[in-house]
A and B are shown apart, each in its own frame.
Chain A
Amino acid sequence: MISNTKCECGHQNPVGTVLCEACGKPLLEELMQDSEAPLEMRYEGAARRSQKANPHLIDRIWNFFSSVKVAVWLIVITLVAASLGTFLPQESTILNLHTYEEFHEYYKSEYGRTGEIFHALGLTRVYDSWWFITLLVMIGTSLVVCSLDRVIPLYRALSKQQVRRHWQFITRQQVAYVGDAPQDREAWLDRFAKELKKKRYKVRRDGDALMAEKDRFSRWGPYINHVGLIIFLLAVLSRSIPGWNIDTYISLDDGETEQIPGTRYYVKSEKFTVEFYTDDELPESMKGKLRPKLFNTKAILYECVEACGDPTREPVLKKVKEHDIRVNHPLEYKGLKLYQYDYTPQVKLISVSPKIVNKETGEEYGPFTLRMRDPDLTYQVGPYTLTLRDKFMEFGGFDAEGRPMSKSREPIAPAFVFIIKGPGLPESGETYIYFPRDIDKVIFQQDVLNKAIADKVEIRVSSMEDVEFSEFTSTLNVRTDRAMPFVWVGASIFLIGVAMGSYWHHRRVWLRFDGDKMALGAHTNKNHIGLRREVSGILARSGLPVPENTLDNRRKSH
């Protein structure tokens, strides 16, 4: 197809060149034959690596990924795959199911035959499947190869542009004008150049040839946005690096402190609040409905500074941050983020401050503070000594062998077993079971369980003020994602590149004389109408009125 790569102007072009690198003369036979049609100006008609003769294996792979057609196919396949994944809920959104069989059953029972087929084809777990990730990697490869294949020849072509271009190159631009040369060429060119400069063109002249250019940087927009996308894709793929990504949940009652798994940090919830809109704030149709207004966890973040991970000692905590965690307002500290995720209304005791009553004399001692979590083991209250022997956070009665048991570790219905020593009690002490909640006292018949000692002493709370409880359990989502900065950098670079390429346009104007004829050609990569309007305006102000639509070279061709 391509035989002679040496142009008549004497320039030696690489194989695959469409338009002479120096003068712009069309080099392909078929382009010369149709001497009217506007020229294809992509990549300045320069040869690309992928157009090399005699390709080897590496070249073939390079050629495959350098094709825009292949890139479009990759995009379309990704698009179709992504859309198929939206029609049934993905497996990752379904809680409590794990195995292939469980999911198979689920989709079969929920969506029938369609569900079965979707599940069998893997369309219920698209986005983390190997083939979807392969598609993304292929798109990434295509981005790199396509960009390199084009940006290098384009850069070379644009940085060594010659002012004087071939007559055909000029007259076969999409915006072109051929007319009689003005009387005084030099003076007219000066005037024309001045008008071009007013429109921010950079003007170069070579004898009686002229070239003007502006906003060349916009040509780099696509390549910059591709760089941004590559960074973005790499950042997304890097999230599978161990330790780069933490995603766990912590449930906290008011006043509870817990370690954040895998870190030196501890988080405490001082108080969780939920607010709903009042009827006054709601429109007619929503009155009487619960519409949440605010979820807020008053949180304190601690860092462990001493005895961390030592099971025999209490860790020493240092407060590092205090924050009201609300939806859309996470707590952030050194890459660690805590999000308000969920809450459950569940009344749990935090502590009680009961008194001990000697039932025979009526004397009261105390109060003493009994914490539900990590209670002290001994209490000295007046003449009495209490030793905590056992505790049950959610008392569940007795098992078959008569042993008391607990249903959970949450202080929902707590029971404490003390050995009490003191006046009127045996030397070795008496066993006393204490239910802080009055309702549990009745349900589990505290007095019956305690038998004779129930007539001698009583542990009791005199008012609600002596009871501290948590109304809600707040669930926080703990996240660390070290890839995030790269995600944002990639996205920003992408946007800058896209804006450069979309909102600025590379415009060039060439002009030369041939005998008593003058030829003007202009090129842009976007917005031909705007270019025609601009060139027509500049010509008019240079004393050469040419209507906008006669500059349009396309119309002449069809």
Chain B
Amino acid sequence: MSLYELSQNALMASLLIYSASFFFYMIAVGGKKWSNREPQAHAARWGWIGFAVAALGLAAHITFFITRWMAAGHIPVSNMYEFMTMLAMAIMIAFVITYLIYRKALLGVFTLPLAVIIIAYASVFPSEIQPLIPSLNSSWLRLHVTLAALGEAFFAVSFAAALIFLIRVTDYKRTDKSAKAARRWLEFVLLVILIVVGFLGSVFTFRAAGYEAVFTQVETVKTPQGEEQTVTREVRYELPPFVQPHSSEVVSMQPFLGLTEPLFEAPSWMNGVNAGRKLNTIIWSILTGVILYGLLRLIFRKQLGAVIHPVLSDIDPDDLDEISYRSIAIGFPVFTLGALVFAMIWAQYAWGRFWGWDPKETWALITWLFYTAYLHLRLSRGWHGTKSAWLAVIGFVVVLFTLIGVNLVIAGLHSYAGVS
């Protein structure tokens, strides 16, 4: 077995172990009211089992990281696959630290799936080891990426705590307008999470089935000299195409449930690289996410928040508020150091300027400004609790946009980290 294969197996192992740990945490939290047991002792016992298993998963994850590092000859943080697997690892490290401080089993119930989802998302990208291009060959870059991910991981833990807080404090009995609105927003967040799950589910299902559709797209591009040129490009889909790229023709397409040709064409203003494929992927994700949500609603016959809410009744919301705040307070200096200061030092060495308003750079600053505003608002009365929790949720959305959205929507210097 080569080092590379060893590392791939270690990652797969960690994925399975994390899932097991999630299961144990579920027992710890959900099984408290089972008969013939002392709730406190039960939670403590299964909480520790969950934690031990999570730590084992993290050990496998670190093994993946180190063996891949050895196989590649450079620290694996230089493309989207490597970054995302490391982000998941950082989240687990942040989880271990926060868990050791607060010992709340619930944190495991929400953080472990997050790590699993991110590893799954990483697996959407090619896992092969790529040699470095010169600008990425820098120790400052490695420090930058690693520490930025660690800071973001604490923001992720804060997001998890904030989400539990919101489900915990949402009132499922009141019938007034504001209570209904609060429940609806919470349902929306859960729906978005299911859309992400839907995205992963559809990508892996069709990948396993070996689905493929191929198009040729004719594009007009401007050369730097201002001349117009037509370029013919081949676009490959892994998901059945509802939408085909703008001004393209079908080369080959496996039929899917009677769908033998795309339903429509991407509009012309969507002219970015692979815009048609991205649109198609988004449609698929939303579709599967909504179907998943609908199925769950049919099974439980109530809002999903209302399904989780009763499990959380004996948790002190003030503690959750504190954990969410504290994770941000711990992550903020790390994020500043990693995502801004080391990034500036690297930029200074690589391009001779420490700041260039590149979209990715700017979004890192926006993330920082957002959490700065959060930390200042915590000083004011009235910004603890629900408002603060919503900010932590939005903050994590900003983090995800910086990491993924910028690459999806806006291309810049960081576009090496391509997105499916």
Give A residues with C-beta under 8 Å from B.
40, 42, 68-69, 71-72, 75-76, 78-79, 82-83, 85-87, 90, 92, 95-96, 112, 127, 247, 277, 281-286, 291-295, 326-330, 337, 339, 341, 477, 479, 484, 487-488, 491, 494-495, 498-499, 502-503, 526-530, 549, 552, 554-555
Asked if B354 is at the interface of the complex by the 8 Å CB criterion, the answer is yes
| Also in contact, A502 and B330, with CB within 8 A (given A68-B379, A291-B131) | yes
Which chain B residues border A477 with CB–CB below 8 Å? Answer: 351-352
B366, A328: Cβ atoms closer than 8 Å: no
Pick the contact of B366: A82, A127, A527, A552 (CB < 8 A). Answer: A82
Asked if B231 is at the interface of the complex by the 8 Å CB criterion, the answer is no
Smallest CB separation, A135 vs chain B (Å)? 11
Which chain A residues border B304 with CB–CB below 8 Å? Answer: none
A292, B365: Cβ atoms closer than 8 Å: no
| Also in contact, A285 and B134, with CB within 8 A (given A499-B333, A527-B326) | no
- 8 more CB-based (< 8 A) A-B contacts, given A292-B133, A293-B134: A69-B380, A72-B373, A76-B369, A85-B362, A112-B269, A328-B137, A339-B351, A555-B316
B131, A281: Cβ atoms closer than 8 Å: yes
Asked if B311 is at the interface of the complex by the 8 Å CB criterion, the answer is no
| Also in contact, A328 and B354, with CB within 8 A (given A76-B373, A527-B326) | no
A294, B333: Cβ atoms closer than 8 Å: no
| Also in contact, A526 and B352, with CB within 8 A (given A68-B376, A75-B373, A127-B357) | no
Pick the contact of A529: B102, B373, B410 (CB < 8 A). Answer: B102
B134, A292: Cβ atoms closer than 8 Å: yes
7 closest A-B pairs (Cβ-Cβ)? A283-B128, A327-B134, A339-B352, A86-B359, A79-B369, A328-B138, A498-B333
| Also in contact, A498 and B380, with CB within 8 A (given A79-B366, A292-B133) | no
Smallest CB separation, A491 vs chain B (Å)? 5
Q: Which of B238-281 contact A (CB under 8 A)?
A: 269
Q: Is the interface of B mostly helix, strand, loop or mixed?
A: helix
B130, A90: Cβ atoms closer than 8 Å: no
| Also in contact, A87 and B410, with CB within 8 A (given A75-B373, A285-B126, A503-B333) | yes
Which chain A residues border B323 with CB–CB below 8 Å? Answer: 529
**Separation of A76 and B374 alpha carbons in the complex (Å):** 10
Nearest neighbor of A86 in chain B, beta-carbon distance: B359
Nearest neighbor of B359 in chain A, beta-carbon distance: A86
Smallest CB separation, B363 vs chain A (Å)? 6
Asked if B173 is at the interface of the complex by the 8 Å CB criterion, the answer is no
Which interface class (under 10, 10 to 19, 20 to 34, 35 or more) fits B?
A: 35 or more
Asked if B417 is at the interface of the complex by the 8 Å CB criterion, the answer is no
**Separation of A499 and B345 alpha carbons in the complex (Å):** 19
Asked if B96 is at the interface of the complex by the 8 Å CB criterion, the answer is no
B344, A491: Cβ atoms closer than 8 Å: yes
Which chain A residues border B128 with CB–CB below 8 Å? Answer: 283-285
Pick the contact of B101: A295, A341, A499, A530 (CB < 8 A). Answer: A530
B341, A79: Cβ atoms closer than 8 Å: no
A527, B336: Cβ atoms closer than 8 Å: no
Nearest neighbor of B372 in chain A, beta-carbon distance: A75
Smallest CB separation, A488 vs chain B (Å)? 8
14 A-B residue contacts at CB 8 Å?
Answer: A68-B376, A68-B379, A72-B373, A75-B373, A85-B362, A96-B226, A292-B134, A295-B134, A327-B137, A327-B350, A479-B352, A495-B336, A502-B330, A530-B101
Which chain B residues border A83 with CB–CB below 8 Å? Answer: 362-363, 366
A491, B133: Cβ atoms closer than 8 Å: no
**Separation of A294 and B357 alpha carbons in the complex (Å):** 26
Which chain B residues border A92 with CB–CB below 8 Å? Answer: 357
Return the CB mask of B366-385 against A: 1 if under 8 Å, else 0: 10011011001101110000
Which chain B residues border A549 with CB–CB below 8 Å? Answer: 316
**Separation of A75 and B350 alpha carbons in the complex (Å):** 29
Asked if B20 is at the interface of the complex by the 8 Å CB criterion, the answer is no
**Separation of A130 and B337 alpha carbons in the complex (Å):** 29
Return the CB mask of B297-316 against A: 1 if under 8 Å, else 0: 00000000000000000001
Asked if B406 is at the interface of the complex by the 8 Å CB criterion, the answer is yes
**Separation of A477 and B326 alpha carbons in the complex (Å):** 44
B102, A86: Cβ atoms closer than 8 Å: no
Which chain A residues border B340 with CB–CB below 8 Å? Answer: 491
| Also in contact, A75 and B376, with CB within 8 A (given A277-B131, A283-B130, A294-B134) | yes
Which chain B residues border A127 with CB–CB below 8 Å? Answer: 357
Smallest CB separation, A136 vs chain B (Å)? 12
Which chain A residues border B373 with CB–CB below 8 Å? Answer: 72, 75-76, 79
Which chain A residues border B66 with CB–CB below 8 Å? Answer: none
Smallest CB separation, A249 vs chain B (Å)? 10
Which chain B residues border A328 with CB–CB below 8 Å? Answer: 134-135, 137-138, 140-141, 346, 349-350
Which chain A residues border B406 with CB–CB below 8 Å? Answer: 86
